[in-house]
Chain A
Amino acid sequence: MSTQWVLGLSLVMAFVIGLCLVISYLIPRLTRPDVYFAVTVPPEFRDSAEGCSILKRYRVEVTIFGVLTLLIALAAIRISGPNYLMVVGMAGLFLQGVGPFLAYYRARGRVLPHAAAPATVREAALVPREAHVPGGWMLQFPPFALLAATAIWLRLHWGQIPEVFPIHWGANGQPNNWATRNFAGVYGPLLIAAVLCALMGFMAYAMLRWSRLIRVGGAAGEGERRFRLLVVSIVVATEYFLALMFTWAALLPLSHKQSGPPGVIPMLVFSLAFAVVTTVLMIWFGQGGTRLVGSAGAASGAAAPVGDRTPDKYWKLGLIYVNRDDPALFVEKRFGIGFTLNFGHPGAWVFLALLVAVFVAIIFIVPSHHHP
């Protein structure tokens, strides 16, 4: 393995783990004031001595896990052979996922004795809601146009595509998975991207149409509307991101470079930049736009308690919402920023099934598993 690869991979690993650590570290203070570690609490609880102590312990645990993960990942890159590199790397990332979850689970256990009764007052604006995705249909068109243009380009250059071509490279830069020059192998990535983009488009529309505004009046309502627009805009931006990534992947067969996927560095930088910008914007807004309006703004508008209008008993571990009596398809996350599916809604399962189908297609349909 070349020194360049080791250095590059170490930097990427450190960056991803660092970003995960920052997000995990900040999340508890980004939620609504009366939702703490996914438990409904009095709004003043998070600033109490007990609330601060729980947060401190959580952050210490998250940091320990983050540093451990980083050390394991870096050690794996330096000492393991290329065959085991990804396995150990994945184990490191797994730890980065499990660690914060354990810290969250423990903190949630400490918050639960302080749980308060959730708000029972609900409010709704008595005006028809505009469910216009930012940019409208005109902005939905370019990702699909790009994918279609790429398909035409590949058809025109069919003869230049090798019979068997690499589609996946190991950490050592050598190809380890190939596809055959047939419909699935060549057009598969584009079709998958089209389905993913369509799902993203649907998600943007569904978030506007089948999720609720928790506050409708005052500064809090305005902040929430801006937050919703941000989340939907990020989903639309993700459509473009996916279209670009898959276009790049679909054009790889036309490159005859074997030592590594061409253009991987710019694509990696682009991906990481996208993740950073998205994260910064979400942190800046806070869940439901609460950080835009501050505590005074959050208290403005109607006199009803804030809350997230989803009773605690319908949340599994505070992360998965299952409420058959709630017609909302998307609800605000309790621990995190943005929306999550209501698995009591049949549409959530259809959405999930389509998403799983796409990943199954990526794993089983496109690659031929044929070694040249």
Chain B
Amino acid sequence: MPNEPPVLQIDLASPLPASEQIVRGLRATLLAGQFGPGDQLPSVRQLAVDLGVHHNTVAGAYRQLAEEGWLELRRGRGATVIERPAPAPTPRAEAEFRKRLEELVVKALAEGVPAAAVSGELTVLAAKLQEGDLAKSQTGSMPSTES
């Protein structure tokens, strides 16, 4: 199918709240550059109907993305994607990322995932990051569990 629209998926059986799944899915889509500044997202009502969740769930997700600087919300005009300058990395954010990544690796090893498999996954991830495909790979199929 030519020009297939980006698809957002959520899993109602996931322990992750639907609102958080929407935030992560949309953020990944935005990171992947599938929307440009000025593009319109579905209205809160439409996305709520399509996903079968309460309006407040979608409205909360949109608000969070607006607070992060991805979207502009205007009554009657829905959610518009805006230009978001990449925030300057802070040493604290980098340290936090390093710490969480290490924790995740240690947790995986403790749960019996072979070190080679963990290393392989990190290599794949690094390659995707280099190619700019990391965000793209996260849209269209939401993970059912998150660390």
Residue numbers of A with Cβ under 8 A of B are 120-129, 209-213, 216-219, 221-222, 302-304, 309-310, 325-328
- A126/B7 contact (C-beta < 8 A), A302-B140, A328-B52 known: yes
B9 close to A (CB within 8 Å): yes
B119 at the interface (CB under 8 A from A): no
Given contacts A128-B78, A212-B50, A327-B48, contact A122 B9 (CB under 8 A): yes
Interface of A is mostly: loop
Whether B29 lies near A128 (C-beta < 8 A) is no
Please indicate the chain A residues that have their CB under 8 angstroms from the CB of B68 in the complex.
none
**Among B12, B29, B45, B78, contact of A122 (Cβ-Cβ < 8 Å):** B12
- A-contacting residues, B4-19, CB 8 Å: 4-14
Say whether B5 contacts A125, CB under 8 Å: yes
In the bound assembly, the distance between CA atoms of A222 and B35 in angstroms comes to: 22
Asked if B1 contacts A327 (CB within 8 A), the reply is no
Total cross-chain contacts (CB, 8 A): 98
Residues of B within 8 A of A213 (CB): 50
A to B CB contacts below 8 Å, 15 in the list? A120-B13, A121-B11, A122-B9, A122-B10, A123-B8, A123-B50, A124-B9, A126-B7, A126-B34, A126-B35, A127-B6, A213-B50, A302-B7, A310-B52, A327-B53
Q: Contacts of A128 on B, CB cut-off 8 Å?
A: 40-43, 46, 78
With both chains docked as a complex, state the minimum distance between the C-beta of A321 and any C-beta of chain B, in angstroms. Answer: 12
Nearest-neighbour CB distance to chain A for B26, whole angstroms, equals: 7
Please, which residues of chain A bring their CB within 8 A of the CB of B78?
128
How far is B45's CA from A221's CA once the two chains are assembled, in angstroms? 20
B13 and A124 form a contact (CB under 8 A):
no
Shortest Cβ distance from A218 into B: residue: B1
Which residue of A126, A303, A310 is within 8 Å of B29 (Cβ)? A126
B47 interface contact, C-beta 8 A: yes
Tell me if A217 and B51 are in contact (CB < 8 A). Answer: no
Interface residues of B (CB under 8 A from A): 1, 4-14, 26, 29, 34-35, 40-43, 45-55, 78, 140-141
CA distance A219 to B4 in the complex (A): 11
Is the Cβ of B54 less than 8 Å from the Cβ of A327? yes
Closest to B50 in A: A124
A216 CA to B14 CA in the complex, in Å?
A: 21
Closest 5 CB pairs of A and B: A124-B50, A120-B13, A125-B5, A127-B5, A120-B12
Q: How far is the CA of A161 from the CA of B53 in the complex (A)?
A: 56
For residue A210, which residues in chain B have a CB less than 8 angstroms away from its CB? 45, 49
Greatest chain A CB density within 10 A among B7, B26, B47, B55 is at B7
Give the chain A neighbours of B43 by CB distance below 8 A.
128
Is the Cβ of B47 less than 8 Å from the Cβ of A124?
Answer: yes
A120 touches B42 (CB 8 A): no
Contact B52 A216 (CB under 8 A): no
Residues of B near A304 (CB, < 8 A) are 9
- Taking CB atoms, residues of chain B closer than 8 Å to A327 are 45, 48-49, 52-55
Residues in A with CB closer than 8 Å to B48 are: 327
CA–CA, A90 to B63, complex, Å? 57
A326 CA / B52 CA spacing, docked (Å): 5
- Whether the pair A217, B4 counts as a contact (CB closer than 8 A) is yes
> With A and B bound together, what is the CA distance between A165 and B66 in angstroms?
66
Q: In the complex the two chains form, what is the Cα distance from A325 to B57 in whole Å?
A: 11
Is A126 a contact partner of B49 (Cβ separation < 8 A)? no
Q: How far is the CA of A213 from the CA of B49 in the complex (A)?
A: 9
CA distance A120 to B54 in the complex (A): 15
Contacts of B26 in A (CB 8 A): 126
Question: Are B1 and A125 touching (Cβ within 8 A)?
Answer: no
In the complex, the answer to whether A217 meets B13 with C-beta atoms within 8 Å is no
CA distance A222 to B1 in the complex (A): 9
Set A122, A218, A310, A325: member contacting B50, Cβ < 8 A: A122
